Chain A
């Protein structure tokens, strides 16, 4: 083998060797376990703390309200649809209660009139014709909307 070729070849081998070494050193631990990505990233994605805890958590204290809600038209509406958790509030509802105003604007998110909403869906109101200046919860029990207060 000519000297030039030998030198060229050996430099090439050294380069490839160094590349493989560096790659081994820089590659994260679990890279390539399932595919071209870091497999531990799947576990990272699981570690985010929960904010919405689900209805089961609510019913540990508020079974009575849940039963009332379930008996009426808001049965499909989850607790946390309206009671938005204030930063981990469902852990400590008493300290930071997720209260709901029950204003026209709040209830109007679902019940305001809109051509895009199905007529057979939730009742739609034009709040200009329906007690404009009162809050919805002044008359309606939000957990059982057809139980009107006097």
Chain B
């Protein structure tokens, strides 16, 4: 009895494992044909989306800290004037002669930044505009428990306002401090690269108003775009590269004091 039962069990085991293997193999063979079954229009749309990957260049050397970008951003995107939340803002870094660094950004730079350190104490001073870095490996997207924040097919990190539950995990996760809780809508809010503008062929509001062209916006996959030319000409860096976020906002003239 014993040997027969073992044989039977063995046969069953072999049968089921062969069936499993065969099934997996068949599925993997059929998988590529799913594309044919898909709607053709959808496939075309996806291809178009793959042609664009939005990014921004920021030239610290030409930024004068007038704060026009922060102001325009607030107006364009209905960000409350007070309390002081910003989708983009300008920081003034002042390195003093004693090596200490003072970072200030009163009202996000709106109304023009003013130097508060007397000239004789200054070693160097520069302006750093900041915004969401639209990371390729975005920590905020990983942190969101409901899938309300996501990277769109053209590389912009967006928030689904109707789907966000307001847990603010993404705000904690963002290493750049680019997110905030909107006091009016009570959901997470952030820079969208003015998605409603760029999809209509316009530039983001901050880029539109910048008087010194310190912000350059464009398609990273288009070799002729202004942004690609900027990246070719200048030696650019991203903020916090050690975090491996692969952000798409590139800074020219970034000093090591900037965090």
A-to-B contact residues, CB < 8 Å: 28, 31, 34-38, 41-42, 44-52, 54, 74, 76-78, 80-81, 84-85, 108-110, 112, 114-118, 121-122
Contacts and interface: CB of A to CB of B under 8 A. Distances in A.
Contacts of B196: 45-50
The majority secondary structure among interface residues of chain A is loop
Contact of A115 (B77, B119, B212): B119
Contacts of A84: 71-72, 75
The 7 closest A-B pairs by CB, nearest first: A109-B112, A37-B150, A41-B160, A116-B125, A48-B196, A77-B211, A115-B125
Contacts of B158: 41-42, 45
Contacts, number: 132
A42 B157 CA distance: 10
Interface residues of B, number: 54
B153 A34 contact: yes
Instruction: Specify the main secondary structure of chain B where it touches its partner.
Output: loop
Contact of B211 (A36, A48, A81): A81
Interface centre among B122, B211, B213 (most CB of A within 10 A): B211
Nearest to A109: B112
A114 B65 contact: yes
A109 B147 contact: no
B56 to A, nearest CB: 17
A51 B75 contact: yes
17 contacts: A34-B152, A37-B150, A41-B158, A41-B162, A50-B76, A50-B202, A51-B75, A51-B205, A76-B211, A78-B208, A108-B112, A110-B112, A114-B64, A115-B122, A116-B93, A116-B127, A117-B127
